[in-house]
Amino acid sequence: MTARTITYRDAVHEALREALRGDERVFLMGEDVGYYGGAYACSKGLIQEFGEERIRDTPLSESGFVGAGIGAALGGMRPIVEIMTVNFSLLALDQIVNNAATLRHMSGGQLSVPLVIRMATGAGRQLAAQHSHSLECWFAHVPGIKVVAPATIEDARGMLSTALADPDPVIIFEHATLYNEQGELPETDDYAKDIESARISRAGGDITLITYGGSLQKTMAAAEDLAKDGIDCEVIDLRSLRPIDDATIMASLAKTHRAVIVDEGWRSVGLAAEISARISEQAFFDLDGPVARVCSAEVPIPYPRHLEMAATPQPDKIAAAAREVLRR
C-alpha cells in the first residue's frame, strides 16, 4: 500500500472537501470559515470551490449558528458547524445539551439531528487561560451525542465521513497543537474510520497507558523512554470519548495489570476519573497496583511557555507516573 506525507490540517481539509463533493446536503458554517479559510486554515479555498451557499461565514454568535445547524439537520441537511475554539462552545451549551442531544428522545424517535460540530481544543500554543481549555469531558457527560478526539492523521482524515453518516450529533475535538503535525497517510479508496472504538497504538505487557487527542504523542514518547529501561508499555488511544470502549481497556489490563491515564483536562471530576472508576468497577481484581492519573494542574492554563508546559501533561511526568506504579 502506498502512502503520502500530509499534515493533520490537510487531512481535515481533505475530509471536508470530500464530504462537500460527495453529498449536496453537506455544508460548512462557522466564524471565518469562508474567505479567511478558517482559524486554523482547514477550510482554505473551499468557498472558491463550493460557493457561499455551502461555505457560510457566520456572525460571532455561537448560540445562533449552532442553533441554525440544528435546525438545518432537522430539515434534512448534513451541516458541519465549526466552533473556533472549545471555550466558545460554552456560548452554545444550551443548544447542544438541551436541543441537539435531546430531540430524538423527546420526540419518541421521530426526530434526528445529524449534526457534526468540529472545534479546536487544548493547550500548548500559548493562548493563555481563555483559549487553552480541554473540556472534552463536559460533552462526554451528555447522553444523546457522540464525542471523538482524532489524535492521528488517519483519524483526522477518516472520522468526519462516519460522523456525517450518523443520525445523531457528533462532536469532533481537534487538538490545536496537531494541525502542523506531519505523518504518513496510506492511500485507499475508503478513508472512513469508526468512531466508537479505541486503538492499541503500541503493544506492551508491563503497564497500560491510556490517553487521547493531543496527549497521544506525549504518551508514545514516554513509552519509548520507558522502553530504554526495559519497561514495556501498552498505549491505548481512546479515540472515542462517548462511548468509551471499555472492552479494549479491560482486555489490556488483564494483560498488564497496571494503568496510567493521561488526560489534559483538569484532574478533579474529569475523564481520567471516569476511566479510573470504570477500571475499578470492571477490572479491580486484575490490578496489581493503584491506577495513576496524569492531568493538568488545577489552575487556569498560564500564558508563559514554561508555565504552560509545567501545568499540562508532559512525557517526563507520564514516565514518572508509570515508574511509580511499577515501583521502579
Q: What H or E segment, with its residue span, contains residue 250?
A: helix 246-256
Burial of 107 (0-12, 13-18, 19+ CB in 10 A): exposed
- HSE, CB side, 13 Å, CA atoms: give it for residue 139: 32
Q: Note the residue count of the chain.
A: 328
Pairing between strand 146-148 and 55-57? unpaired
CA pair distance 312, 278, nearest whole angstrom: 24
List beta partners, residue 47.
none
Phi, then psi, of 28 in degrees rounded to 5: -115, 135
Location of C-alpha cell 487544548: 122
Phi, then psi, of 250 in degrees rounded to 5: -70, -35
131 is catalytic: yes
CA pair distance 273, 147, nearest whole angstrom: 17
From residue 12, alpha-carbon distances to 1, 89, 212, 259, 291 in Å are 21, 20, 18, 32, 34
105 is catalytic: no
CA pair distance 263, 271, nearest whole angstrom: 7
- Annotated catalytic residue within 31, 82, 131, 308: 131
SS3 label, residue 300: coil
- Annotated catalytic residue within 13, 14, 31, 62: 62
Catalytic residues: 62, 131
